Structure 1
Amino acid sequence: MPRPKNQEERRAHLIQAVIDTTARTGLRSLSLADVARRAGLTRGAVLYYYDDLDALLSEAYRAGMERLCDRRDALRDTIGDPALLLGETIRAGLPTGPDDALMRLLYEFDVVAGSSPLHTTLVESMYERQLATYRAVLERGADAGVFRLTLDPATAALNLVALEDAYGLHIVAGNGQISVERAAGAMFEAARAFGAPAA
């Protein structure tokens, strides 16, 4: 990993080092020394940018929040068709494949939630954002008369998040049983079953 030159690049470099190292060692075994080694820095140099490992992990989790939540919410500003919007929201919420290190990190946080106030807070925040994202899409489709929901939007959103999390975990586990395409297709079918067609 080449060393970046400015502070913004260095911080991004460190976040990527956390993501890559966690994919290799797991979150429970992660240490500041591991991250420093991966980034090609000393432990002291890492501490110049972040107060401790928790601060670094929070920033890495924020990168996941941006991808899984912020970018999906931004789709509502660019996609007018509710069915297409739901389809793209589903696709963007799944890992790209078994090697998706950022999504693997998010699932690692789920595993350790409850053992640390930081991890619990981050996981709960992500979950609430996922629910809000799907609910907003479903409500838009219902308000437009495109979706004829057989479940209230909150319950439908709950089901979609449960499927997204379960299928995503299978994908990053890399056992080959569930592909990204199969997971997306199954989620589309579930959405159609409660009256929200996904394109």
Structure 2
Amino acid sequence: MYFDNSRQIAAFSTMCMMLLRDCRHERSISIEFVADRLNVTSSIWKKAEDISGEFDFNLFIRACDVMQVSPSRVIYISECYVGILRNRGWEVLYKRPQNIGRDDLFQIATAFWKTGVGRGCWRDFPVLDEPNLAAGMATPLFRYALDSAYQAQLDNPPPLNFDFSSALSNPDEHKFDANQTSHDIAS
């Protein structure tokens, strides 16, 4: 199959596994739990999530069952993102990533997974909800891949300020008076 190598490339199987990985994070399920239920080692499941080897459809189906998600839902949401990616100039292929020679979406996902949001610290959109990029509704992973401003925000988060000195500069302002009534506090 011919494809335009000058465009960004994504493999469909990679998209399915990335969504499944995000489902695992969303549900706070460990790699070890999934591996145990699949009767494989943690390293085998990690390689499957990282698309390090061959895409194993049977393992994908079984992992969906472990995480209590419908395989057809994961595939359907992946198809939704195919349309979005193609509308944004991406080439989405139904070939194994090893046969393509590169998978740009996986490279972007690897950077995303190093961010706080990518590590599962904060998610603002359910993984298996139907995306609508025009309304800003997409999984953080795909927003990261498609929205450079969002990508910059996650790559360069503002520093946290733990300086409480201004709040404690006048301790008398913050003293609690047990004799105060709720009416006194409200006014």
TM-score, length-scaled by structure 2? 0.27
Q: Indicate the structure (1 or 2) with the bigger Cα radius of gyration.
A: 2
